[in-house]
Amino acid sequence: MDKIPPYDYALYAFAARSAVITCSIFELLQIFGSLEETSSFAKFIYFLFAGSSAAASAYNIAMSTDGRDEIRKVVGNPDCETRGKAAAVVLSPVVAGLILFVCVSGNALFSFFVLIHVLISITQFGVEAYETTLQKGSGTASNNPYAQLANPSCGAPIVSEKKGTSQFTEPLQDVKPVKDEGKSKVQTPVVQEPIYHTLERVQKEAEKKK
């Protein structure tokens, strides 16, 4: 008796995405082939949802997207654009399948493919969310660059290891007097006489000489 192969996330994710694409293609065929009583506007809306589900699954397969990383981006990344893209990649198959399952009725074959679509996409999302929670609980989520992304503007100021010297931080040094001919004298600034005082003195000396 053959044994069940060990659990491999990449293998099961690829199989689930391939199944979602297959169901979405059959849904598109049913929308334009078997829903005669449906209006053109309703068919266009159904086409958008089924097409978005198929496109998201095909993108995940082509880019080898890891749904666990996308969930971490949705939970921990502060960038709204990144979170929106990650949520669209992960949740598009689930949301599209649920909307088609609720809105479309009356066609057994179409409802069957939509039901398979919903079950597979929900199971895949549940496995990805469970593994993300499991990794976070086991401590392996610390390697996630989006789990705890600090805002640089709110962090502690950057301090250089090399402390620079400043004239305001250094202690004041004692001023030593200048020695002149064996006598200690402190140099004083030379005060110049104002110009008008000099003119008055010159005039007085000239009057005295007369």
**pLDDT over 70 (residue 183):** no
Confidence of residue 196 (pLDDT cuts 50, 70, 90): low
How far apart (Å, rounded) are the C-alpha atoms in residues 75 and 68?
A: 11
Rounded mean pLDDT of the chain?
75
Confidence of residue 59 (pLDDT cuts 50, 70, 90): very high
Give buried/exposed letters for 165-201 (b at 16+ CB in 10 A, else e): eeeeeeeeeeeeeeeeeeeeeeeeeeeeeeeeeeeee
**pLDDT over 70 (residue 169):** no
**pLDDT over 80 (residue 76):** yes
Whether the full predicted model's pTM is greater than 0.85, yes or no, is no
How far apart (Å, rounded) are the C-alpha atoms in residues 24 and 84?
A: 23
Contact (CB, 8 A) for 79 and 87: no
**pLDDT over 60 (residue 69):** yes
How far apart (Å, rounded) are the C-alpha atoms in residues 26 and 24?
A: 5
With tokens 């068919």, the residue in question is 43
Express each pLDDT in 82-93 by its tens digit. 999 998 999 999
SS3 content of the chain, % helix, strand, coil (to 5): 65, 5, 35
Contact (CB, 8 A) for 51 and 99: no
Which is more confidently placed, 97 or 173? 97
**pLDDT over 70 (residue 189):** no
Mean predicted confidence (pLDDT) in 14-38: 86
Contact (CB, 8 A) for 77 and 70: no
Contact (CB, 8 A) for 154 and 57: no
The least confident of 39-43, 47-51, 131-135, 182-186 is 182-186
Mean predicted confidence (pLDDT) in 4-11: 70
